């Protein structure tokens, strides 16, 4: 389907045959059938213009080779059906940067036009934006504002405010906002300052902004400690100041992303990467990959040891070739230097062990014992009607809620709700007293949202953080999602396996395990038996199976 559509769209007579091969390789090797279909429906409509904004920092610091390769990426974006709008970051050399970039674009066969003074400050403080509607020519927007009060043009001072005003008035349909810099994506403390893979802004923006500000404040405090001027202290201070400038740029990128994506439609995507990654001519190019799949190069919920292995030729679950020495992964690799961001979804986590009419909507008043002193606002209650709806739509089966609640109530570990019940996870404590483990009992996402908004990744990331040492779930052998589960697990076991003691039963399920790899849990036969017997024997609560 993909090859046939792509041949029809661009034709194999296209002079840039390598570009065609690149796009096909990305679609065939990384895109799911649903993602390919979404891409075709979004960008394959004749006469429909889709645009992306590419915000470029410090273009004068890029080598000519990098600019040339970046120009090729821009050309490929246009061929994919996404017309770029380039915005240059304020700098003393911005006019020269624009002229140089236009020269490279021209050599690649792309027409461009500089757009200056597209924004005006009125004397009453209002902002006016005028951008020409161009179809065949790429606008390169220069960071200048005409100040009516002063009667002159000035360079943009507040980049975030400028971009927010720009996208709110721009006469184009924008779904992608890319920031290209020298530093890469938003740094993650957990990933040892390598870039966050994915950021759900509604959940993480304030925390990330605080973390960056704290690092900046810590540098300020360190810089003021020593008053003795030596060669060593001067060098250290220079390193600290350079690090501070990097953190300030990262913080500005994060603020700009949040401001811009707030102005765009909810499904819109942001991406921050360095120029080396943006200029890559392979399926690792994060910009091309995101246009084709609307996601990051690698899943944010993939365990870190599997992220490292995926860089090499062998899959993470295959033995590496010991006859060749593999070089350590560079921090400049696109998967380490790229952050994908979305406005994201709201998240609520309910930690009630027992559901009662006081904390839940949909329970009969006398069904469960109610603590007399517990008063919870209606808006903070778990809605069982909506829980059942998302489970039934996700599984395509009718849930016997009464049977299900009798099994889980009293030993619920956590219930995660995404947005307006677009996705849910119900976790329970299972196993013998004193050795209980966390079990993902129900995981459901509304069918039309699977693969979008990164709901599955968000849920699994939350679960892994909440239960980092031991988390289990089961899935039918023929479940098409098993490959995805397999990639996020440390181990997998068929629940029909004979573990001794004559306790062997046929089972349609596989058991997946996530947790500490160094605790040798899967070499502890007694613990394996506890897992297998307990999870294997959990009775389903579907109406057609309840006896």
Fold of 49-202+252-299+330-342: Carbamate kinase (3.40.1160)
In 3-state terms, what secondary structure has residue 344?
coil
d(Cα 31, Cα 293) in Å, to the nearest integer? 6
List the alpha helices (DSSP H) in 90-158. 94-107
What whole-number percentage of the chain has pLDDT above 90? Answer: 57
d(Cα 174, Cα 379) in Å, to the nearest integer? 34
Tally of CB atoms within 10 A around 112: 20
pLDDT at 10 over 90: no
Contact criterion met (CB below 8 Å) for 423 and 449: yes
pLDDT at 281: 86
Mean pLDDT value across residues 74-94:
94
Please work out, in degrees rounded to the nearest 5, the angle formed at the alpha carbon of residue 264 by the alpha carbons of 50 and 42.
30
Angle of the 2-10 helix axis to the 17-30 helix axis, nearest 10: 150
CB-based burial label for 399 (10 Å; 0-12, 13-18, 19+):
buried
Q: Across 419-507, where does the E strand assignment appear?
A: 423-430, 437-445, 470-476, 491-494
Contact criterion met (CB below 8 Å) for 443 and 457: no
pLDDT at 532 over 50: yes
pLDDT at 459 over 90: yes
- Tell me whether domains 49-202+252-299+330-342 and 347-537 share a fold: no
Tally of CB atoms within 10 A around 92: 9
Tally of CB atoms within 10 A around 170: 20
Q: What's the predicted TM-score (pTM) here?
A: 0.85
- 8-state DSSP, 187: B
List the alpha helices (DSSP H) in 264-301. 275-278, 286-293
pLDDT digit string, tens, across residues 444-453: 999 888 766 6
**Mean of per-residue pLDDT scores for the chain:** 84
In 3-state terms, what secondary structure has residue 385?
helix
At 230, the pLDDT band (50, 70, 90 cuts) reads low
Provide the pairing of β-strand 198-200 with 339-342: parallel
At 364, the pLDDT band (50, 70, 90 cuts) reads low
Starting at the edge strand found earlier in the chain, the sheet holding 198-200 runs: 112-115, 138-141, 82-88, 50-56, 174-181, 269-274, 339-342, 198-200
pLDDT at 372: 39
At 227, the pLDDT band (50, 70, 90 cuts) reads low
Residue 246 tokens, joined: 């990097």
Q: How many CA atoms lie within 13 A of 507 on its CB side?
A: 24
Angle of the 33-43 helix axis to the 2-10 helix axis, nearest 10: 20
Question: What is the DSSP secondary-structure string of 227-269?
Answer: ----HHHHHHHHHHHHHHHHHHHHHHHHHHHHHHHHHS-TT-E
**Domain boundaries in the chain?**
49-202+252-299+330-342, 347-537
513-524 burial: b if 16+ Cβ within 10 Å, else e: bbbeeeeebbee
pLDDT digit string, tens, across residues 137-167: 999 999 999 999 889 999 999 999 999 999 9
pLDDT digit string, tens, across residues 156-207: 999 999 999 999 999 899 999 999 999 999 999 877 778 999 999 999 999 9
What is the dihedral angle through the alpha carbons of 109, 89, 42, 443, rounded to the nearest 10 degrees? Answer: 140
d(Cα 357, Cα 371) in Å, to the nearest integer? 10
Contact criterion met (CB below 8 Å) for 23 and 76: yes
- 8-state DSSP, 135: S
pLDDT at 2 over 70: no
CATH 3.40.630.30 correct for 347-537: yes
pLDDT at 333 over 90: no
At 124, the pLDDT band (50, 70, 90 cuts) reads confident
pLDDT at 224: 73
pLDDT digit string, tens, across residues 408-421: 999 999 999 999 99
pLDDT at 16: 57
- The larger pLDDT score, comparing residue 367 to residue 485, is at 485
Contact criterion met (CB below 8 Å) for 370 and 357: yes
Q: Which residues pair with 269 in a beta bridge?
A: 176, 342
Tally of CB atoms within 10 A around 485: 19
Of residues 443, 447, 259, the one with CA closest to residue 341: 259
Which of the listed ranges 54-63, 293-302, 477-486 does the model predict with the highest average pLDDT? 54-63
At 393, the pLDDT band (50, 70, 90 cuts) reads very high
pLDDT digit string, tens, across residues 249-305: 999 999 999 999 999 998 899 999 999 999 998 888 999 999 988 889 888 888 765
List the alpha helices (DSSP H) in 138-184. 159-169
């Amino acid at each position: 389907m993909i090859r046939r559509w792509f041949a029809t769209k661009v034709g194999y007579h296209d002079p840039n045959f390598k570009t065609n091969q690149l796009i096909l390789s990305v679609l065939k090797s990384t895109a799911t059938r649903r993602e390919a279909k979404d891409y075709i429906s979004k960008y394959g409509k004749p006469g429909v213009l889709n645009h992306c904004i590419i915000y470029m920092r410090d273009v004068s610091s890029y080598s000519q080779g990098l600019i040339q390769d970046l120009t090729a990426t821009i050309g490929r974006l246009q061929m994919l059906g996404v017309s770029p709008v380039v915005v240059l970051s304020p700098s003393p050399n911005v006019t020269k940067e624009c002229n140089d970039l236009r020269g490279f674009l021209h050599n690649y066969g792309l027409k461009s036009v500089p757009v200056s003074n597209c924004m005006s400050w009125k004397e009453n403080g209002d902002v006016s934006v005028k951008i020409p509607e161009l179809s065949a020519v790429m606008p390169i927007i220069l960071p200048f504002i005409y100040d009516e009060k002063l009667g002159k043009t000035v360079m943009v001072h507040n980049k975030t405010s400028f971009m927010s005003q720009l996208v709110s008035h721009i006469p184009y349909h924008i779904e992608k906002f890319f920031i290209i810099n020298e530093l890469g994506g938003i740094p993650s403390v957990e990933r040892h300052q390598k870039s966050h893979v994915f950021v759900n802004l509604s959940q993480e923006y304030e925390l990330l902004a605080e973390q960056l500000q704290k690092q900046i404040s810590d540098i300020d405090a360190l810089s003021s400690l020593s008053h003795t001027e030596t060669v060593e202290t001067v060098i250290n201070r220079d390193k600290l100041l350079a690090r501070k400038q990097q953190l300030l740029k990262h913080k500005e990128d994060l603020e700009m992303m949040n401001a811009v994506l707030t102005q765009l439609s909810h499904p819109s995507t942001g991406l921050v990467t360095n120029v080396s990654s943006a200029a890559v001519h392979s399926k690792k190019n994060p910009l091309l990959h995101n246009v084709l799949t609307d996601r990051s190069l690698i899943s944010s919920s993939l365990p870190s040891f599997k992220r490292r292995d995926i860089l090499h030729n062998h899959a993470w679950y295959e033995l590496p070739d010991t006859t060749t020495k593999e070089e350590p992964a560079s921090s400049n690799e696109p998967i380490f230097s790229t952050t994908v961001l979305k406005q994201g979804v709201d998240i609520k986590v309910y930690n009630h062990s027992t559901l009662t009419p006081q904390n839940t909507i949909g329970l009969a008043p006398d069904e469960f014992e109610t603590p007399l002193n517990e008063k919870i606002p209606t808006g903070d209650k778990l809605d069982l009607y909506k829980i059942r709806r998302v489970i039934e739509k996700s599984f395509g089966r009718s849930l016997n809620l009464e049977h299900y609640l009798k099994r889980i109530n009293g030993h619920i570990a956590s219930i995660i709700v995404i947005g307006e019940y677009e996705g849910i996870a119900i976790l329970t404590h299972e196993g013998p007293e004193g050795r209980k483990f966390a079990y993902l009992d129900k995981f459901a996402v509304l069918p039309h949202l699977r693969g979008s908004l990164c709901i599955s990744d968000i849920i699994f990331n939350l679960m892994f953080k909440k239960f980092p040492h031991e988390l289990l779930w089961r899935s039918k052998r023929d479940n098409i999602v098993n490959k995805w589960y397999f990639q996020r697990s440390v181990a997998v076991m068929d629940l029909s396996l004979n573990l001794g003691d004559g306790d062997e039963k046929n089972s349609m399920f596989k058991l997946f395990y996530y947790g500490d790899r160094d605790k040798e849990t899967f070499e502890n036969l007694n613990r394996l038996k506890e897992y297998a017997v307990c999870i294997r024997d959990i009775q389903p609560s579907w109406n057609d199976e309840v006896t």
